[in-house]
A and B are shown apart, each in its own frame.
Chain A
Amino acid sequence: MSTGHVVSLKVYFAVFTALMVLTALTVMAAFVDLGPINNVVALTIACTKASLVILFFMHVRYSDRLIQLSVATALLFVLILMAFTLADPLTRAWVRPVVPFVR
């Protein structure tokens, strides 16, 4: 058989419902003042939605190890890209320059 894994329709509709609920949740949460938590909530919900799409709509949950490894590699490199680059601007305020910058 050359076919991939057949996912039942029930799973597709359950995932779609979850995505709709999460969309409603993120929009409502955006209008409530939660302080610095607001953006964390929005990003957490976005990551959850993306995971649902990747695992079920894109069949990664049922794919070969090779495909799962490819996806994991992409996520690892995105993490490296974000962490190593943002490590600079996010920590600049922590230290005061010892020697004043002279042009």
Chain B
Amino acid sequence: MSDTTAAVVHDHAHQFDDAEQQYSASSLGMWVFLVQEIMFFSGLFLTYAAYRYAHAGAFAHASHHLDVTLGTINTVVLIGSSLTMALAVHSAQMGQRRPLVTFLFLTLVLGSVFLAIKSVEYGHKFEEGLIPGPWFMPTDPDAAEQQLFFSLYFAMTGMHALHMIIGAVALIYLIVKSAAGRYTSAYYTPIEMFGLYWHFVDIVWIFLFPLLYLFARH
């Protein structure tokens, strides 16, 4: 009897009544953080919408420099990483340690592939002289407005990539902890909370892809 009591006492921190309350607090805290992230990215999307409306022609013109094939591949890769992340959470819930480590690792691999393709794309933009500033190459009459498009392109995809890099670092930490058996079917909150973050980053890309690559393509 005293053993069970000890186990129950140690499955949550002292400021919580029980493990369930602790889990609810973690979930709500993570979601409040994500709500803040949604508002942060919304500011970028709003800026893009306003300028896209003001300079529709130049933005359509500039977006033709983007590679739809690489953008599509990256969309598939990132949604794939969301699936492996969801499967990692599922493995954690089932208390399967090896599948958990495997799926977290696959998520890290797919995230890295995304970043690698993104850096290839950035390289192309650099070679084509599409970096806003004094070295901007296009000399079309609407070159100034095209620079505006690329400023927003780099700000939005760059901020998204920064979130991916932070996610990749967190994934390495979770893989190490998972391999050490830190998470069980009774306690896997960090895995689930990180999953929420990773899916959020996926959602940002789900909007960036059509807005930057697909609008006014035909």
Q: Taking beta carbons and an 8 Å cutoff, which residues of A are in contact with B?
A: 1-4, 6-7, 9, 12-13, 16, 19-20, 23, 26-27, 30-34, 38-39, 42-43, 45-46, 49-50, 53-54, 56-58, 63-64, 66-67, 70-71, 73-74, 77-78, 81-82, 85-86, 89-90
Q: Are B90 and A2 within 8 A (Cβ)? A: no
Q: Give the chain A neighbours of B120 by CB distance below 8 A.
A: none
How far, in Å, is B185 (CB) from chain A's closest CB?
7
Q: Give the chain A neighbours of B11 by CB distance below 8 A.
A: 2
Q: Are B186 and A38 within 8 A (Cβ)? A: no
Q: Give the chain B neighbours of A20 by CB distance below 8 A.
A: 76, 79
Q: Are A82 and B28 within 8 A (Cβ)? A: no
Give the residues from 38 to 63 in chain B that come closer than 8 angstroms, CB to CB, to chain A: 38-39, 42-43, 45-46, 49-50, 53-54
* Total A-B pairs, Cβ < 8 A: 142
Given A50-B206, A89-B53: A6 and B215 interface contact (C-beta under 8 Å):
no
Q: Are A57 and B210 within 8 A (Cβ)? A: no
Q: Give the chain A neighbours of B216 by CB distance below 8 A.
A: 38-39
30 sample A-B contacts, Cβ–Cβ < 8 Å, listed by A number: A2-B23, A3-B93, A3-B185, A7-B86, A9-B90, A16-B82, A20-B76, A30-B68, A30-B210, A30-B213, A31-B218, A38-B218, A42-B211, A43-B210, A50-B206, A53-B82, A53-B199, A54-B199, A57-B82, A57-B199, A58-B196, A66-B28, A67-B27, A67-B28, A74-B34, A77-B39, A81-B43, A82-B42, A89-B54, A90-B53
Contact among A32, A34, A53 for B206, CB-based, below 8 A: A53
Q: Give the chain B neighbours of A45 by CB distance below 8 A.
A: 210
Q: State the majority secondary structure of interface residues on B.
A: helix
Q: Taking beta carbons and an 8 Å cutoff, which residues of B are in contact with A?
A: 11-12, 19-20, 22-24, 27-28, 31-32, 34-35, 38-39, 42-43, 45-46, 49-50, 53-54, 68, 72, 75-76, 79-80, 82-83, 85-87, 90, 93-94, 185-189, 192, 195-196, 199-200, 202-203, 206-207, 209-211, 213-218
CA distance in complex: A73, B32 (Å): 10
Q: Are B32 and A70 within 8 A (Cβ)? A: yes
CA distance in complex: A27, B213 (Å): 9
Given A67-B27, A81-B42, A85-B46: A12 and B185 interface contact (C-beta under 8 Å):
no
Residue of A nearest to B26 (CB): A2
Q: Give the chain B neighbours of A43 by CB distance below 8 A.
A: 210
